[in-house]
Structures are given as C-alpha cells and as structure tokens.
Amino acid sequence: MRFLTSIKLLGIAILSVAAFGAAASPQNPVNGTEYATLPVAQPVPAGKKIEVLEFFAYWCPHCNAFEPLLADWVKKQGDNVVLRRIHVPKSDLTLPQQKLFFTLEAMGAAEQNQAKVFYAMHVQRERFTKDEQVFDWVAKNGFDRKKFIATYRSLPVQNRVKQADKAMTDYGIDTWPTVVIDGRYKTSPQLASTTLGDEPEIEYHKAALTVMNHLVAKAKAEKK
C-alpha cells in the first residue's frame, strides 16, 4: 500500500514538472517566469497601437546583438506597435552616449541612425566617452555640427536624461536590453530564456521576441 502510494506521489510529481515545463516557455509564456507584470501600469499614448518601450545602452554588447533582431521584428509588426526607446544611465563616461541618443531623438533622427551608432561603437571602436568625440562623429556623418551641439546642450535633452533616471525606477529596470509592452508587461532576453538552459545568446534574443509577440497580442486583446 505504501509502495502504491509512493508510486502515485511520484507520478503526480512527474506530471507537475511536465505541466510546468509545458506551461513555462517562450511559446507559452507565464507571468513571473518569461515576463513580469509591472505593479503600477505606466502611461502610454492613446490609440490602437501598442507601445513597445526598449531600455538599452549603446555601449552594451547585448543591446548591440539584439538591435537587428528587434528592428526586423518592429518592421514585421507594422501598424500594430509604436516603438519608443530610453537609453539607460550608467556613469559619467557613458553620459555622452545617452545624450547622443536623446539628441538624435529630438532631431527626429534616432531610428535611422540607431544601427549606425552601434556599428561605430562595436565595430569601428568609437568610444563616445567625451562630448567632442560625439560631435566629431556626427559631423562626419552628415549632421550640422552647430545645430547638433545646440540640441545636445538644450534643456529638453537635459530633461530627457533626468527622465531616464526616473523611468529606471518606475519600470523597475535592472538589466538591459529590457522591453516593456503597453506600459504593463516587461520582458527581456534574460527573462524570456528562463526555461531554455545554456544556449547561444541569439536563442535568448529570439525567445524574447517570441514572448513579445504574445504580449503584444495580449495587450491588443485587452484594449478591445
């Protein structure tokens, strides 16, 4: 009798593990495993499009690797989503990179130069740890130097830097790249790959995109 009871308990345990394994995966993401729901929903633009907010850094090699996959994913989403980005703060050395992004954003040139800046840093080995390095690079890449510097030093860009600090707290960001869907659901290659084990980094990035597909569909359904 004890033997049969043990067998039954073992069977239940195996089924429980199997059920959890089936439930927790990038293809069938679970809240608290492949993604997290923010305790306080953050404001998003009105309308039918779902906001996709990426927290990233130009200096981050993982963000650099994630960028082409994210860009392709956004194109495939079409009118379903609107992409927004926040360059995370790190230190005085990376502040010029953060201001570079927010300046490009203010000038309406962030998206068309996103891959170019990553390439400059990770392939051409530009450092962008000093303002003048940034100014020299943008001048070589078709920007009016004086206009760029004026925007770079403007109050709106200073405010965006301050807002980025606050956003890190509001969204609970402690790793990047991290993506927040519709101001409510947060995922990342790190979160999305929780159940994958040891895989090449690109598989973690693909897992994140799979989870993002689910979260966009979820958010869209909840808007109806």
Domains by residue range for the chain, with CATH: 44-216 (3.40.30.10)
The helix or strand, by DSSP H or E, that contains position 147, with its residue range, turns out to be: helix 145-152
Q: What is the mean pLDDT of residues 47-76?
A: 98
**DSSP tag of 78:** G
pLDDT of residue 184: 98
Could you report the per-residue pLDDT of 197-209, keeping only the tens digit for each?
899 999 999 999 9
When pLDDT is cut at 50, 70 and 90, the band that residue 177 belongs to is: very high
pLDDT of residue 19: 42
Determine how many CB atoms are found less than 10 A away from the CB of residue 127. 14
Which whole number is the average pLDDT over 161-188?
A: 98
Residue 2 has pLDDT above 70, yes or no: no
**Other beta carbons within 10 Å of 36:** 17
> What pLDDT sits at residue 25?
81
pLDDT at residue 15 greater than cutoff 50 = no
Whether 50 has a pLDDT exceeding 60, the answer reads yes
Confidence bin at 69 (pLDDT 50/70/90): very high
Please, which pLDDT band fits residue 8 given cuts at 50, 70 and 90?
very low
Tell me the CB-side half-sphere exposure of residue 121, using CA atoms within 13 A: 22
Is the pLDDT confidence value at 76 over 50?
yes
User: Cα separation of 220 and 166, whole Å?
Assistant: 27
Residue 22 CB burial class (10 angstroms; 0-12, 13-18, ≥19): exposed
In the chain, what percentage of residues exceed pLDDT 90? 86
Average pLDDT over residues 159-180: 98
Which residue, 193, 194, 190, 186, is CA-closest to 170?
Answer: 186
Residue 9, pLDDT score: 38
**pLDDT at res. 24:** 64
Is 128 buried (19+), middle (13-18) or exposed (0-12) by CB count in 10 A?
buried
Instruction: Supply the pLDDT for residue 108.
Output: 98
Please provide the average confidence, as pLDDT, over all residues in the chain: 91
What is residue 224's predicted lDDT score, i.e. its pLDDT? Answer: 77
Q: What are the distances in angstroms from CA 115 to CA 4, 171, 194?
A: 62, 25, 28
Beta bridge mates, 52: 83, 181
